[in-house]
Chains A and B, each alone.
Chain A
Amino acid sequence: MKRTGMEGSFAIAEAIKLARVEAVAAYPITPQTHIVERLAEFVANGELDAEYIPVESEHSAMSACLGTSAVGARTFTATASQGLELMHEVLYVASGLRLPIVMTVANRALSAPLSIWTDHSDAMATRDCGWIQIFAENAQQAFDLTLCAFRIAEDPIVLLPTMFHIDGFYVSHTIESVEFLEQEVVDKFLPEYRHPYPLDPDKPVTIGAFGPPFIYTEAKKAHEAALRSSKKVILRVWQEFSKLSGRHYSPVESYKAEDADVLLLCMGSFSETAMMAIDKMQAEGQKVGLIRLRLWRPFPTEELRQAVSKAQVLIILDRALSLGGTPPVCSEIQAALYPLKTRPKIVSFVGSLGGREISAQGFEEVIRHGVDKAKQGELDEFEIIGVRE
């Protein structure tokens, strides 16, 4: 199909329209606003037959989504940063009730100081909320993974809300080329959503009852098991999508990493800039490669172990802090690799906070510095790169 030039946010809105979403409840917040503005237009001009619920806050947005999803309507929302934080408590309700809401998060730093610019602080603050979480790096992936998100979330053995992350501005406001799918193709890929136990006055059910100590642990175990076992559905859906579109997705994606002794690991749109550094360094004969985590929840432990099995050094770039602790992505990777007999040396960096950029040359420096640190054995603490002393 022909490639079309389009802003990332609008590409996501196209995917939502093609997915025949039935309900949208959202509150505008930078840098997510363009997505829901475009959806509001689609609903207003009749291109999308959906209920668009304008709400007074993100807390209400997610609460409204609980209702529309519980009655069996395919439901979408989008947010970022402070908005995601404001809906935080409702995120846990959505996943605990097993409602397959799909949400785009246009990643943005958290206040204070007030920042509208990109990093992964908002994503990391929600990592334990029981949603499936996927990272997309560009508009094409955002389009593709949006469609896949509904298939995954609504699968009868999954029934979990799914959040996919795009970098604010670097994806949401960037115009690039995107290849769409025809409506008939999407319709075939994405059958109508049917919740097995919807709220229905003719067939009443209770959802959201309280869970005393004798049931709460079992409820959480069931939620945990559902989230873990969603991985096989994710793999199956991505495989099916690849047959449809020719575009492949996997939980951990490697770039020129086959013979690499040194691996850089990152997430989000800057991975593409990092690829340029890898290209250049490989051309110079250096054995470096790149790993990107596409799937963040459920955490792809096996795939990660496999991807780093031959590396000597693993340099992890977190785009968020866990203030007072180990950076979030690094701590998860350390936990995943700790039980292994042989594992690469791990160098932990935090960078690109609150919209500060890293150029391709900057990534080269990150890799070189990481290798130096590994050689010197300076592995016991993480380092914030690019900070003025």
Chain B
Amino acid sequence: MYKEICKKYSPDKDNLIYILHDIQDTHPQHYISEEAVEVIAEYLGVPANHIYGVITFYSMYSTSPRGRNIIRLCESPPCYIKGSENILRKMKIMLGVETGGTSKDGLFTLELCACLGVCGNAPVMMVNNDVYGDLTEDKVEEIVEKIRRGN
């Protein structure tokens, strides 16, 4: 499967970030496995340690398995002054996890991120590819429940 994804791109090093995005998005647990790194390294002809360096540098990538849905809550100043800390506290209780953790049912991983560029509607979070703004404690509860039911 990893090989198939690699082949969508020409074997040039500058496609690495694209390939990593694609592999991570395709994996049900949204991460880049050791096996994937080996396949990419061979395909692009670059050392595996270069690929690890890149994966760990960018905040969107993960080397360990994550939940089916990834919640990325913004903690930058504009969201912070609008109460993102309260949202984070609420989320941790609701999902029973710490930052970076995955809920027991494997449905959610809670992550923090710096600025999603939707500061006009702070506080903001992204669940997978969807942006949710003007968050309140009630609203995040509703969103999480809705996704839970959908799964």
- Same complex for A and B? Answer no
Give A residues with C-beta under 8 Å from B.
none
Which residues of B come within 8 Å of A, CB atoms? Answer: none
